[in-house]
Amino acid sequence: MTSSILAQDPTLADFGRDPWWLVLGKIVFAFAFGLLATLLGVWFERRVVGYMQVRPGPNQVGPFGLLQTLADGLKMAFKEDILPKAADKVVYFFAPTISVICAVTALSVVPFGPMVSIFGHHTPLQVTDVPVAVLLLLACSSMGVYGIVLGGWASGSTYPLLGGLRSSAQMISYEVAMGLSIVAVFMTAGTMSTSGIVAAQGDATRLTIFGTEVPAPGWYAILLLPSFVIFFIATVGETNRAPFDLPEAESELVAGFMTEYSSLKFALFMLSEYVAMVTMSAVTTTLFLGGWRAPWPITIWEGANSGWWPMLWFFGKVIALVFVFVWLRGTLPRLRYDQFMRLGWKVLLPINLVWILVLSGLRSIEDWDTRGKVIAVGIPAGLLLIATLFWPSRRPQPKPTPQEQVDSRPYGSFPLPPMDLQVPPSPRITRVVAEREPANIVAGSDSREV
């Protein structure tokens, strides 16, 4: 067993040769990673948001409050389970289960590391891989819509039904932008295999562009910067996270598709949201951030991408992306539904189509290296996209002077209300008074004043 064997990238031929107990161990590890990351993710979010809002957050149950999420989950599981009378019992039960299963299944094709040796067996740190693994990720993400729609429909109430429809429209809208972003990854890597995409991002060479030799970064987050920006925005919308959490907003539809759920079923929907957040962070790491490969300063060490060390780099990237999810929730206000849909259909989708067209044209040029073309065009295009998305849409209005403020008031220098603001009398009170004292009311005025 040499270091070269441990450092090699897994290929499709390396899968399907493991004994049953090793496959079972990988499945248990992926499932445990999803659940444990969810428990720690809830604690992490509450602590980070508490720090942003200058408050402690959970700090009593367990060291640093680490067991608070476990205590909340047990408490939620033992609460009374209320079943609506008009609910479809079978679909009502399986809807949250579908959401959780789809979110966890996506981890089966995510590579956690390179080839390693486990009890004498050389195996990749990945449950499985197929030639169309990324399509499997998209399928799992799309199937998660069924859990939300069925949960809203099976509740037998109007509010969950509307919340499920709004959520399905939201997720389907951003699913299109997400799929087009991955098309650029297919074109550049030449494969749909997740292990192949990670291997393609490890090719860091030096290129000559316009007579200047420059290092060529391998991560597609740099090479395909517009696709990375659009993919991450679509990921936030796909997981119903703030500022795109309209289906569950208190000011919109109570709790959206989860209005009629309680106890353990409500906990499963909440679990599916956090599992989806961790899963999409892992998928983003795999497709755009080099997967388990170490970032640039650490690559100076020759053994950075061999053995079990790549798992550390992979988990570090996932935690960094989860922090961005939490950062967005603690920073940005919630968008309106029309703004959200306009961003997905009228901004992200056209930009994605134009970028794929430009990328196809660059790949057709033969006298210039493909990686150099993408670097020269993709990075400026990505920066322009970021500036366009975050540029203020309205010019700030100049602050009026004190004299202009005084002149703008219709009743002088004091903000007094107009004197004709009289509350109209209640029809019921007028009718009761007319019945009791008909002789005292003359032409709408009180005759006792005469």
- pLDDT (tens digit, 9 = 90+) per residue, 241-295? 888 877 666 555 566 788 888 888 888 888 888 888 999 999 999 999 988 998 8
Q: How confident is the model at residue 24 (pLDDT cuts 50, 70, 90)?
A: very high
Chain Cα centroid distance, residue 429: 55
In residues, how long is the chain? 450
What span, in angstroms and rounded, lies between the C-alpha atoms of 34 and 39?
9
| pLDDT, averaged across the chain | 80
Under 8 Å CB-to-CB from 111, ≥6 apart: which residues?
Answer: 10, 124, 125, 126, 129, 194, 195, 198, 286, 291, 292
Tens of pLDDT, residues 324-358 = 999 998 888 888 878 888 888 888 888 888 888 88
Residue 446 has pLDDT above 50, yes or no: no
pLDDT given at position 427: 66
Tens of pLDDT, residues 370-426 = 555 566 666 677 777 777 666 655 666 777 777 776 666 655 555 555 555 555 566
The radius of gyration of the chain from alpha carbons, rounded to an integer in Å, stands at 29
Q: Specify the higher pLDDT residue, 188 or 246.
A: 188
% residues pLDDT > 70 (the chain): 77
Q: How confident is the model at residue 445 (pLDDT cuts 50, 70, 90)?
A: very low
* 115: phi then psi, degrees, rounded to nearest 5: -70, 130
Residue 231 has pLDDT above 80, yes or no: yes
- Alpha-helical segments (H) within 190-305: 194-200, 220-223, 225-238, 250-253, 263-288
Under 8 Å CB-to-CB from 47, ≥6 apart: which residues?
Answer: 57, 58, 64, 65
Q: What value does the mean pLDDT take over residues 118-130?
A: 89
pLDDT given at position 258: 82
Chain Cα centroid distance, residue 435: 64
Residue 194 has pLDDT above 70, yes or no: yes
- The pair of structure tokens assigned to 44 is 């992490």
pLDDT given at position 312: 92
Q: Three-class SS of residue 397?
A: coil
- The pair of structure tokens assigned to 190 is 């030449």
Handedness of CA 90, 95, 100, 106 (dihedral sign): positive
pLDDT given at position 1: 35
pLDDT given at position 83: 87
Q: Is the peptide bond before 392 cis (omega within 30 degrees of 0)?
A: no
pLDDT given at position 211: 56
CA distances from 183 to 125, 171, 224, 328, 360 (A): 25, 19, 11, 26, 11
- The pair of structure tokens assigned to 198 is 């990670």
Residue tagged 């509010």 (tokens): 159
Burial of 275 (C-beta count, 10 Å sphere; 0-12/13-18/19+): buried
pLDDT given at position 88: 87
Q: Specify the higher pLDDT residue, 87 or 366.
A: 87
Residue 316 has pLDDT above 90, yes or no: yes
What span, in angstroms and rounded, lies between the C-alpha atoms of 65 and 44?
10
Q: What value does the mean pLDDT take over residues 87-106?
A: 89
Residue 161 has pLDDT above 70, yes or no: yes
pLDDT given at position 6: 40
Q: Could you tell me if 379 and 362 are in contact, meaning their C-beta atoms sit under 8 angstroms apart?
A: no
Residue 438 has pLDDT above 70, yes or no: no
